[in-house]
A = this chain, B = another copy of it.
Amino acid sequence: MNPICELFGIRYPIVQGGMVWCSGWRLAAAVSNAGGLGLLGAGSMHPDTLREHLRKLKSATSAPFGVNLPLMYPQMEELLQILVEEEVKIVFTSAGSPKKWTEWLHSHGMKVAHVVSSSTFARKATEAGVDAVVAEGFEAGGHNGREETTTLCLVPAVRKATHLPLLAAGGIATGAAWYATQALGADGVQIGSRFALTQESSAAEAFKMRCLQLAEGDTRLLLKRLSPTRLVANAFRTQVEEAEERGASVEELRELLGRGRAKKGIFEGNLDEGELEIGQAAALLQGRPIEPVAEVMAELLEEYRHTARQMADNIL
C-alpha cells in the first residue's frame, strides 16, 4: 500500500496544500471527499475562525482531513488548544522548527507532517519524530526556502535523507508532474496552486481568473531579505522590485509590505495593491476555467494513469 495513503487513511496520495486565504473548509472538504487529504490553512485564520472552519469541515466530510500550522503563528497556544478540542488528527507544520511541538502534537493523538526546503531540514524533522515530510521546491507559490533548490533536485535529496513517507511539492499541477515526482522517490504530492484556483477555494474570483491567465515568468521569487516569497507581477510587486533593485533595507521592505497584503490580493481580489501568491505551475493552467475540485481530482488521476501507460511503452 502507498505509505502516504496508509499513514493518513486516504485513497489517493494527494494532499491539498494549506494555503493562506484559499484553504477554508469548503476546499478541504471537497478534496477529502474526493479521496485526497484536505487541509485548512490556519496561517490566515484567527483562532475563532479556525474553530468555525473545523466545525463546518467536520460536518461536510467524514473522510480524514488536516490543518496546516505555520510554527510562527502568533497565538500558538490558543490554536493548539482548539486543535485538541476539535479532535484534529493530522497537522502539517511549516515555517519553523518541528522540534518544539511534534511530541506534544503526538501526545494529543495527532499525526505530524513537516514541510522542508532542504535535506538538512528533512533530517532535523526526522530526528524531531515527525511522521512524514513534504519536500517543497523553488517553483512553489508563496513562502519559499532560501536555498532555491528546485523540486527536481530536492525530492531525490530528501528521499536520501529520510526513510519517512515523502510528499513532493512545488510545480505539481498535473498528473504527469505527479508521476514524475513519484519516479524521483516521492510517495505522494502536496498540490497548492491547482487547488487554490478551484471553485471551492476561498480566494477571490478575480485572483483565480488572474492566475489562470499567467504566462511563464509571470511569478518571481522576491522579498529574499525578509522571507522569500513567490509573487505574481502587479503594481505592488513592481514597487518591491524597485525597492530591492536600489538595495532597500529590511525595514523599508517591511514598511512597503505593510499588513494584510496577502489578504488584500488573494481574498479581496485587489489585483494591483494586493500580494498575489501562486506557484510557477499556474502557467501550465493558462486559459483553463475555474474548475470544481472533483473534476481536478479526476483529471489528476486520469493524467497520472495516462502517463504511466505511455511510460510503459518507453523502454530503452
Contacts and interface: CB of A to CB of B under 8 A. Distances in A.
Interface of A: 2, 12, 118-120, 137-139, 146-154, 156-157, 170-172, 174, 176-177, 179-185, 215-217, 220-221, 245-247, 280-281, 283-284, 301, 304-305, 307-308, 310-312, 314-316
Given A216-B120, A316-B301, A180 B152 contact: yes
A138 to B, nearest CB: 6
Contacts of A170: 152
A176 to B, nearest CB: 6
Contacts of A310: 183
Given A139-B153, A149-B217, A156-B177, 17 more contacts: A146-B217, A149-B216, A149-B280, A150-B171, A152-B152, A152-B177, A156-B174, A180-B184, A183-B311, A245-B247, A246-B247, A247-B247, A305-B316, A308-B311, A308-B314, A308-B316, A311-B311
A150 B282 CA distance: 13
A153 B301 contact: no
Given A138-B138, A176-B185, A154 B216 contact: yes
Contact of A151 (B152, B156, B157, B308): B152
Given A139-B150, A152-B152, A176 B171 contact: no
B284 A216 contact: no
11 contacts: A118-B217, A120-B215, A120-B216, A138-B138, A146-B217, A149-B283, A150-B150, A150-B152, A153-B280, A183-B311, A308-B314
Given A153-B216, A174-B156, A312 B312 contact: yes
Contacts of A245: 247
A210 B160 CA distance: 21
CB-based closest 4 A-B pairs: A147-B217, A247-B247, A180-B180, A152-B171
Nearest to A5: B316
Nearest to A183: B180
A151 B181 CA distance: 12
Contacts of A307: 183
A304 B177 CA distance: 17
A41 B299 CA distance: 43
A171 B174 CA distance: 20
B152 A311 contact: no
A161 to B, nearest CB: 10
A247 B184 CA distance: 39
Contact of A184 (B139, B176, B308, B315): B176
Contact of A180 (B138, B157, B181, B216): B181
A62 to B, nearest CB: 22
A142 to B, nearest CB: 16
B177 A150 contact: no
Contact of A153 (B12, B148, B281): B281
A314 B13 CA distance: 12
